[in-house]
A and B are shown apart, each in its own frame.
Chain A
């Protein structure tokens, strides 16, 4: 009897919802490139991350405004020393095939993410978990990783050092759980439609390589009632102009980017579709500190930085809402205020006068000018920026600048070898909302040493921050570290990137946010 009633209720619900949403909501998103993989532990790049955020849900997730909110974990506790986290999972969390999502699934996922055989590009960022580094190096078995399922719904993560950014990091796809059965049954083919089982708001329905990826709502998702978009299409459209045209022709609801040259036109003609917001990222120039003329020459580096009119570059060369940058960390990071160098408030005349003094003190003059090279990867924006800077250096100091541009991978290799480079383009996008994701870059042990920066004080402050359990104190230490970095003029920050999209004005729920994360589950069509 109770069964019959529930069938009745179901039938009623089906009819009712059928009437209520007569037309299924279909969202069509431009996504630039074909994702490298839909395996959350192997994927890399924004294209894959966009899709994985719809398919999966981590212990935490980003809300539409970018803030971190509970995901599969409904709450968590942190031990006093900041090294032991207990996550309590929702009991209604389900995989897209109906299986419950358990703490074991997360243990399996995290071990897999760190296991050297997986070769996850983000494995290193999980290095704070106990034994992660040893597992990654192949010295210990993945089973020794500091994660454990205390019961079906309680997950323990033990850390080698306090890491308040862990909670934000757990929204990243490298920490997602994977469905053990499908991974073990299908091996590398578990990401194919039909084999793929996910635990997010959507499930993979179709994947036509280089054509489209179709997601359908996951009926078993714990918060399925709040999901309004029924079907999501991701189209890989690498040509910006083509993506723009397809949006204008009404074939896309969201674009991944906007062609630079169309900006003025869009501002005048389609302002209601234009979404531009500061992005958790910085565009800067690096100095090759391994070699002269920049090795042991902080004065010269300061002169070159002072002679650059960053406001002019942000407003006139770029002009799409970019902000001038005076620090490695962009503004807006929760709980953090970037240090401001002394000259940031100086008028340009004062900066130039000081730059000239320092330039002369470094031994250069009109007769004996500095001859320097700016190296960047091929691209219109990079070229315009380099041109403007070379011009400023020439006008204010008399520096002779050579511009060299190279294809991306050639450029990366030259940068890494640090043999040819002098001044070179660099950029960094934060993985999570914390200064650590930027500042670790310049630590002498970071492994990305294209700059050759090594300052014991900087390392010491960052290491101290890593051991600090008090959040406020930790931020202070990092701020001090960044101040050291800026005083050394090891890099030349130029501007803060913006995220730029065209968004169908009928689409609701879109909020600009620092991480540029826009999960389809939070979007809906207004009618």
Chain B
């Protein structure tokens, strides 16, 4: 187990290295620079700024410089937010992003598994049709449409919830963003859960269990649930990635002080270090999540062993 973990962690290093390298050169291919503005800076000022941020050196030197700082855990200064370093900005955005991200994942899991199971157990009845059509809506309505709709209904018309803002993570402020973030994932999980549970229920060993005279309740909870959850667990990796990218939009709309907003602003402003830092951070998060998924998978399926 320890060896497995260690090996996987070591394997993450080349992945992240490739990510940094790719991202470093990709952001540089985007035309325009961090200090461009309609009100152009005087050339002497631009020179100074380029020198200060090592932008005047050849690209490969800048790359080595960046890697060197990275090894020391320094993601560099932000070009745009001149009073802060990238480390500080990510640290500032981390709690909010993690909070809404993990709440959305939990909600999606709970709701998706529950409704998917209901649909599977009532196949081709109204419960099934309701869950499936709702989940279709959840998948097809993008979050940048869903968010304003919910705001209009719950904040402006009904006045039950705030229209946005963070307010020190007050539950009322968290509700709408978490729901918007969780909806599409809930829908995917519900559909997957339905298919998977239906398949398990029609397999031979379940028939055997029923023939033994076991109650439906016991069959589902003891025999069917565990194998039916396997595809859901393997889906968690992509879900984490989707929640992260979804949070970029949701953070913008609800004014949540997370990392995603910096990602957008950073890209628009050619804030190279900020974009790189966040890309790296996202990458590390997804790698970590896939590792957790693998561990969970092994726990669920006795055929899978750490090797």
A residues bordering B, Cβ < 8 Å?
Answer: 33-34, 36-39, 42, 44, 116-117, 119-121, 123-124, 136-138, 188-189, 191-192, 208-212, 235-239, 241-242, 245-246, 248-249, 251, 407-410, 412-414, 416, 426-428, 447-448
Contacts and interface: CB of A to CB of B under 8 A. Distances in A.
A209 B37 contact: no
B16 interface: no
13 contacts: A36-B80, A37-B83, A124-B45, A136-B44, A211-B257, A212-B166, A238-B261, A242-B148, A245-B163, A249-B155, A409-B30, A410-B32, A413-B32
A245 B270 contact: no
Contacts of A407: 268
Interface string B73-98: 00000001111100011001100000
A242 B151 contact: yes
Given A249-B156, A416-B40, A191 B32 contact: no
B255 interface: yes
A123 B30 CA distance: 28
A194 to B, nearest CB: 13
B186 to A, nearest CB: 23
B148 A123 contact: no
Contacts of B84: 209
Contact of B159 (A137, A208, A249): A249
B155 A409 contact: no
Contact of A246 (B37, B164, B257): B164
Given A237-B164, A245-B148, A410 B31 contact: yes
Nearest 6 CB-CB pairs, A to B?
A: A409-B32, A211-B257, A210-B257, A249-B163, A37-B82, A209-B92
Contacts of A192: 83
Contacts of B234: none
Contacts of A117: 48
Contacts of B83: 37-39, 188-189, 191-192
A78 B302 CA distance: 89
Interface size class of B (residues with CB under 8 A): 35 or more
Interface in B256-270: 257-258, 261-262, 265, 268-270
A240 to B, nearest CB: 11
B42 A136 contact: yes
B49 interface: yes
Interface in B220-252: 252
B283 interface: no
Given A121-B41, A237-B255, A412-B36, A209 B82 contact: no
Given A209-B92, A409-B31, A121 B36 contact: no
Contacts of A447: 40, 42-43
B152 interface: yes
Interface string B160-192: 001111100000000000000000000000000
Contact of B262 (A44, A210, A408): A210
Interface in B50-85: 52, 80-84
A246 B32 contact: no
Contacts of B41: 121
B77 to A, nearest CB: 9
B38 interface: yes
A119 B257 contact: no
B102 to A, nearest CB: 19
Contact of B82 (A39, A248, A251): A39
A374 to B, nearest CB: 17
Contacts of A251: 162-165
A410 B36 CA distance: 10
Given A239-B253, A241-B148, A409-B33, A210 B261 contact: yes
B212 interface: no
Among A34, A116, A249, A407: residue with most chain B CB under 10 A = A249
B125 interface: no
Given A210-B261, A409-B270, A416-B40, A119 B48 contact: yes
A245 B156 contact: yes
B156 A412 contact: no
A107 to B, nearest CB: 21
Nearest to B84: A209
Contacts of A416: 36, 40
Interface string B261-301: 11001001110000000000000000000000000000000
A80 B44 CA distance: 33
Nearest to B151: A245
Contact of A245 (B42, B49, B155, B261): B155
Nearest to B88: A209
Contacts of B30: 409-410
Contacts of B80: 36
Contacts of B49: 119
A208 B89 CA distance: 10
B42 A409 contact: no
B108 to A, nearest CB: 23
B38 A208 contact: no
Contacts of A410: 30-32
Contact of B44 (A36, A138, A239, A427): A138
Among B39, B166, B257, B268: residue with most chain A CB under 10 A = B39
A124 B32 contact: no
B254 interface: yes
